[in-house]
Structure 1
Amino acid sequence: MTRQAWIRSAALVSLAVLLLAVGAAIRPLLIADDKPTPPVLTSIEIGFAQDMVAHHSQALLMTQRLDSGVDPTVRALAQQISDTQRTEIGMLLGWLRMARVVTINPQPMAWMHTHQPDLTQHQHATATSTAATADLMPGMATQSELDALAAAHGTDAQALFLQLMQRHHVGGIQMAQAADRQLSSGIVKQAARDMIDTQSREVGLMMLLTQRNTPS
């Protein structure tokens, strides 16, 4: 083979390799991928996140309605709860935005009573009243209880706050335990376990504070 023929052959081989590389690069742009994109969150994870946002939001409301003149230890606990649950709300909302679903659950607590609710039920939310949500979620305070907390002062305020928040935490723990049981793995399962741990410790502290402030 002459030198010129060898150069032409090498050039043709290089061109063929280049065309193959370009073809591989643009193939995803020209040919649709039939494989469905896996969901960011499962339906149970979505339902848990949506409902826990609502549950945590009421806890924040309760800390805001607590009289500032209560025992400093109770006030510090309320601030701790507020800080923790505000951070967790941000985390939960971030996951819901990544999954491109609404933040309000159109069927509150449905995920807790069935293993695989229809994912499409979470895609289009309808208006859900606070009262209806409170009736379905464990531990939620009624509007009259929230009003009573806002009106209470001093020892009455801290006694009512500890009573309502302890019940609220127990309900939140029940929700997190249900999510933990139904999820096999993942970041939402770990978050549920963290909530169980944190709120269980806070319930213990609330019980001690209630006993301390109860006349013997």
Structure 2
Amino acid sequence: MREGGWQHPVAVVAVGRMCCSLHDVLYGLVASDPAEFKLRSVLMDCKVEDDVEVETIMAPSEAKPFEFMGVTRYVVHRGCFHRPHEYVLVAATGEVFTSCGEHLGYQICQFVSISQWPVTSTATRKRMIRAQVLRELPDGSVGVYYKIIVDSKPFVPDSVVQISLWHDVQNFWKRVPRCADAKKLCYCVEHKD
């Protein structure tokens, strides 16, 4: 990673289990347009992103409702004393069935540099790689492998960055099922007729 311009990569890995279905987790994760992206951020108690832009490569369909691939650009404002953070990420979400019958899901995000969204002077462009691999277990729960790597400032201790990342990882476990439930409720309200 250092050859690719990374100055100080810091990683956190978590493995655990969620007591909900794989489809619920994937439904909570997938966001294929700016409105869904902002809704997911609000439902997951993240800082609401501004200037959300999504270039879809592959959108969810009726046959594959959890498949999404695209490039996303968004800005996170962190308060009046910090410059906003800008993220340009290629993201993929989906599910697969293995030849031995296992049901797996995934979400992978990685920073990219593309000419369509050049680096601006108003925000700090952040580098991040995040992967979540989800496995449906025999009891209906979901086994989760979660890894995130960020490029940190060298003067910030690794432990401080890892604590911040760890809070984000913990929030994934708490808020993705809540996000799925809220999205289902929104869908029911929109289609109540």
Instruction: Verify same fold: TM over 0.5.
Output: no
More helix by share: 1
More strand by share: 2
TM-score computed with the length of structure 2 as normaliser? 0.26
TM-score computed with the length of structure 1 as normaliser? 0.24
The structure with higher relative contact order (CA 8 Å, sep 6+) is 2
Q: Name the larger-Rg structure.
A: 1
